[in-house]
Amino acid sequence: MTTPPKPETDARNEQAKLVEAFAKKVGGAERAKEILDSLQALRDKAA
């Protein structure tokens, strides 16, 4: 008997799928990380 996944696990899996799809779109994990890092920097600057 298996226990249903916890909601936070579901959310993490969903986020992982989105990040993976995003990485494919922009041409790889390295590029995706650059984009996400620059977005975070902009967010920090705006705060």
User: Which helix (DSSP H) or strand (DSSP E) does residue 8 occupy?
Assistant: helix 7-26
Q: Which pLDDT value is given to residue 5?
A: 64
Q: Which pLDDT value is given to residue 1?
A: 57
Q: Which pLDDT value is given to residue 11?
A: 85
φ/ψ of 44, rounded to 5, equals -65, -40
The model's pLDDT over 1-47, given as tens digits with 9 standing for 90+, comes to 577 667 788 888 998 898 888 888 888 888 888 988 999 999 999 98
Secondary structure (3-state) at 47: coil
The model's pLDDT over 15-28, given as tens digits with 9 standing for 90+, comes to 889 888 888 888 88
